[in-house]
Amino acid sequence: MPLAIKALKAEPGIRTIGHDIRMVRGGWVKGRVLTASGDPAPIPAKYANEIGHQGPARPRTGAAVTSAPINEDSSFRIHVAPGRNYLYVMGGDSAAYVDVGDGEEIELNLGGKDGSSQRSFHGTDEDEALADRLRREAMLEDQATDTEAGQFRRTNSSRNTSPQPAKTKVGDSPKVPSRVRRDTPTGRLLNELEEMNSGPQAFLEPWAKLLREIVNLGPDALPELIDELDATNDERMMRCMAFVLRANGDKRAVPALIRAIPKTLRPSGSDMGCRIENDETLRKFMQKNDLDETDYANEFGIGRSVREVFGGLQRFSGQNFNDFGLYTVFRTGLPSQIHAKELLFHQAATRWRDWWEQTGSNDIDDRAYQKVNLAPLPDSGTFSIPLDVSLTTDTGSSNDMLLSIRTSSVPEFPSQLLDLDTSRRANVPEKWRRDSLSADDMTELIQWAAGEGFDLMGDEFTDSDGKSVYAFRTIGLKAWQLEDARWKSLPAKFTVNELQANGRPVPDEWLLHRDADSAKVDAQKHAPFLFITREGTPGCINVGIPVTDDSLKPGGVSSGDNELNPVEFRKGRRFGLEIFKFADAQR
């Protein structure tokens, strides 16, 4: 069993050496899951009957776990690394810490009459303390980073951008507030919140108490809270204002939340899992008003602004416009991608605005809150990417998958359609959700998907043997199959012209490996492709192998190249993306 290297910091362009992964024999923990009366517990079905585990092999500084099945008699046996380990029932309430020696087997029941293994550990978990510190530092670094779009925008772009907050070093607190607020109880508390957001107490109990104090100001504070959300471009303050407005419970906050939607397009960040150890009343307040469906002992959540804003709108309205796909859209990429993402968020705000002004505000008497006053999306100029400009890889993804559209069942998450400009995903609308689609159905579906801006759909290709194979169907996408040697191995710098010259145009709508000499299709083989979307965005997609074995369980471990792993939670086709940026940061 390998021991994890904990919290190793990676620096762009810097090779880190001297960090060996040590292998150990490990130990075992066996036992049963019991009810409070000491009887074998019913097996929770939600997470496929699993015991989850974190410890020296999977530190609590991250979300990765290992797992083992709970058997029909409620027994389990799980392999762990030597040292202190944390075991829990996935989807349940029972958990415990246990120390295990190398080669030792320990017996431990989860649950039971004594209640000693409930989620109520008192003391310090060093991994969680480290994780909290790392998350706070990472968010402070996010705050201090100017929006990444600036380095990509052409100097002749006519975009008007909102002013960004001044850069703040990790651990520093602002000497003065970033904006002049009214000298009122609300204004003074907001000044205090801004300072706390930039310091070491952010997301800890004093910070939570301050949020509660702002909420307890009641309806009289609403205008100033709305002014704050309208004025701020700070990620943490937007999170806090969305949380406070939701907890305040005044539906007049809806227009301000709608106006905030375009600002929630941010660089990649983290949702926060927080803890309150000692103040039960405060913990219950935070749990009552967070977005988590399930409360675990002393834990509560505070999401990224995109989650908090949309979560507030959904809770106030009871409406759901399928905005879940925006939660994984980040402000990165080339100018064409930035613009497409801005347009996507503005369209979402427009949908909410139309609902509010036509229906949602019917029970609001104050006319000042019946209109949203959503600002128009500014003119963005032109975003054509010269084919001879020097590019490099920016960010990307791995271990991804699209599922087939040819099913009557609805995937748990959006995973059948992909927009390569924005990373937005979706499932097929109910109109076309069935196991068999006619030629007319496909024509209508493709026309709809193109109108929505999608570039790829998961489908099924019939090979020369008549066998159906999971594959990607393109939607108005230009693509070139690159040499096999370019699999996850693009040059440090390149141009689109250079990649095209060393690739072969894809002759139809299928992204499938074709032999360089015979052009014969091998639907099972992986291949890298250069693409250019209808909006002009170039990128690279590494199309992996089809997956027909969905036996991987939550917490299961995979190794090697993710795109070549034949086992997953679901059936479909694997892929990874490489997003480009200008090699010259001044462009």
Q: What's the pLDDT score for residue 167?
A: 40
Contact (CB, 8 A) for 145 and 122: no
**C-alpha separations of 45 from 42, 50, 73, 90 in Å:** 9, 9, 14, 10
Contact (CB, 8 A) for 267 and 145: yes
Does residue 450 carry a pLDDT above 70? yes
User: For residue 223, what are the β-bridge partners?
Assistant: none
* Cα angle, residue 302 at apex, residues 62 and 348 outer, rounded to 5°: 110
Q: What's the pLDDT score for residue 21?
A: 86
Q: Mean pLDDT over residues 384-398, rounded?
A: 87
Q: What's the pLDDT score for residue 558?
A: 61
**Lowest-confidence region among 186-190, 202-206, 459-463:** 202-206
Classified as helix, coil or strand, 357 is helix
Q: What's the pLDDT score for residue 161?
A: 33
Does residue 484 carry a pLDDT above 70? yes
Pick one of 3.40.50.2300, 2.60.40.10, 3.40.50.720, 2.60.40.1120 as the CATH number of 27-121. Answer: 2.60.40.1120
Contact (CB, 8 A) for 262 and 342: yes
Q: Mean pLDDT over residues 552-571, rounded?
A: 80
CA–centroid distance for 304 within its chain: 10
pLDDT digits (tens, 9 = 90+) for 282-329: 999 999 999 998 887 788 999 999 999 999 999 999 998 888 889 989
Nearest alpha-carbon partner for 349 in 259, 426, 233, 243 = 259
**Lowest-confidence region among 110-114, 309-313, 425-429:** 110-114
Q: What's the pLDDT score for residue 265?
A: 96
Does residue 43 carry a pLDDT above 70? no
Nearest alpha-carbon partner for 212 in 243, 255, 166 = 243
Task: For 243-362, list the strands marked E by DSSP.
Answer: 272-275, 299-302
Does residue 168 carry a pLDDT above 90? no
Q: What's the pLDDT score for residue 560?
A: 82
Q: What one-character DSSP code corresponds to residue 360? A: I
Q: What's the pLDDT score for residue 138?
A: 67
pTM over 0.85: no
Nearest alpha-carbon partner for 396 in 149, 524, 578, 168 = 578
Q: What's the pLDDT score for residue 123?
A: 47
**C-alpha separations of 439 from 131, 432, 465, 475 in Å:** 52, 12, 21, 15
Give the residue with greater pLDDT, 15 vs 140: 15
Hey, which of 27-31, 58-62, 268-272 has the most confident mean pLDDT? 27-31
Q: Count CB atoms within 10 A of the CB of residue 567.
A: 12
Percent of all residues in the chain with a pLDDT value above 90, rounded to a whole number: 57
Q: What's the pLDDT score for residue 228?
A: 97
Q: What's the pLDDT score for residue 176?
A: 62
Q: Mean pLDDT over residues 212-240, rounded?
A: 96
pLDDT digits (tens, 9 = 90+) for 525-560: 999 999 999 988 999 999 999 999 998 875 555 668
Does residue 270 carry a pLDDT above 70? yes
Q: What's the pLDDT score for residue 382?
A: 61
Give the residue with greater pLDDT, 155 vs 416: 416
Q: How confident is the model at residue 139 (pLDDT cuts 50, 70, 90)?
A: low
Q: What's the pLDDT score for residue 149?
A: 38
Q: Which residue has the tokens 């032999």?
A: 515
280/297 Cα distance (integer angstroms): 10
Q: What's the pLDDT score for residue 328?
A: 86
Average pLDDT, the chain: 86
Listed in order, the ranges of the chain carrying CATH 2.60.40.1120 are 27-121
Q: What's the pLDDT score for residue 555?
A: 54
